Structure formats: C-alpha cells, structure tokens
Amino acid sequence: MTEPTPMRVAPTFELTAAERAEIRALLDTAFEGDFADLDWEHALGGAHALVRDRNGLLLAHGSVVQRRVLHADRSYRAGYVEAVAVRADHRRRGLGHRVMAALEHVIDAAHDFGALSASDAGAALYAARGWQVWPGRLTALGPHGPLPLPEEEGAAYVRPAAGHPLPTPAHPLAFDWREGDLL
C-alpha cells in the first residue's frame, strides 16, 4: 500500500462535484450496491473525513451530521456518523480508525454526544474505539408522533462527547425524523 496522505476534513459545501461523485462511487462499491440515494442524502450537510493515497485515490470516507435527539425532556445535538467506508483492497490497515478519529474530533468539538447505527461488519471498529451499544429504547419523532424502533435496538451505538455525559437509558433516545432509514 502506498503511504496515505494526511486526513482531510471538510464540510459538505467545500466538496467539489467531482469529490462528491468520487465519494458516492466509493460508497456504492464498498456497500456492494446497497447504498441508496437516501443513504447518500443522510451523509450530506456535515463534515466529511477523507483519506487518499499519495496518488490521490480515495481510500476511505466517513461523515458526521447533526441530528436533534430528545431525551427526558431535553433536546441534544448529536453528531451522527454516516457513510463510513474503506476500499476493499485497503481494509484492515487502520484507515477506518483514522476516519473515526477525525469524526470523533468533530463530535467532541461540536456535539453533546455521538451516535451511529452499526452494520455487523462495522460493529467491531466502533466497539474497539469505545463506542457503546445504547442499552435503552429508541424512537423517531415521526409526523404522527413517536415511532418505536425496536429493530434498531442493539445496533445503535453512542459515545459521549468530550466534557459531556451520555444520556441515561432510563428514557428513550428520540431521533429527529428523516426519509428512509430512521437511524
């Protein structure tokens, strides 16, 4: 493997159309065609971490977007991690950890806590970095009121931001509504 260049973290608005297309292509390949347009939409509007090799080839990506989460009558700014992927031929070389370290820095600087929904393949990475499975209930604030998300329980991970405690599992985390996958 060619030595990767330093991490670049950039907000969505600073990414060129070519960069956005390159990221989307990486995600489509990494998720083997199971990365929908709404998944892409969920990854936009926040900060993106990108790792390239010395020749400019995109090797890894992840983003963190702000989501509002209600918990015990309080509204939190959660840094929600989306679209973490590493090229198949560069996996198990620490690139996912580099991406997550950059995203965790954003969470520590701008959010109350971090949250994500882990795939089976990604769960070990998040657990190794200290993310914890949320042990409580999950809901989404739908157009007609709270919508329970029991199928997401056990796959939702949280991480406190620097200087902030995690919410307690005595009350559900109620995520803001969005089209497509709610978590």
Encoding tokens for residue 49? 């971490």
Q: Which two tokens stand for residue 88?
A: 């198949």
| pLDDT tens-place string over residues 62-114 | 999 999 999 999 999 999 999 999 999 999 999 999 999 999 999 999 999 99
> Cβ atoms within 10 A of the Cβ of 33, count?
7
In a domain, 143, yes or no: yes
Does 181 fall in a domain? no
How far is 149 from 123, CA to CA, in rounded Å? 19
Structural domains of the chain, count: 1
Q: Which ranges in the chain belong to alpha helices (H)? A: 17-30, 37-42, 95-110, 123-128
pLDDT in tens, 124-161: 999 999 999 999 999 999 999 999 999 999 999 999 99
Q: Find out whether 166 and 158 touch, Cβ atoms under 8 Å.
A: yes
Q: Is residue 64 part of a domain?
A: yes
Q: Give the global pTM.
A: 0.95
pLDDT score of 77 = 97
- Tell me what pLDDT residue 7 has: 87
Distances (CA, A) of 138 to 18, 86, 118, 166: 37, 28, 14, 15
Amino acid occupying residue 90: H
Residue 170 scores a pLDDT above 70: yes
Assess if residue 182 is contained within a domain.
no
Supply the CATH number for residue 85's domain.
3.40.630.30
DSSP symbol at 168: P
Q: Report the SS3 class of residue 14.
A: helix
Per residue in 110-128, pLDDT (tens digit) is: 999 999 999 988 999 999 9
In this structure, is residue 3 part of a structural domain? no
Residue span of the structural domain in which 137 resides: 8-176
Give a yes or no: residue 2 inside a domain. no
**CA 37, CA 145: separation in Å to the nearest integer?**
25
3-state secondary structure of 179: coil
Tell me what the mean pLDDT of segment 23-47 comes to.
Answer: 96
CB 128 within 8 A of CB 177: no
Residue 3 has pLDDT above 90, yes or no: no
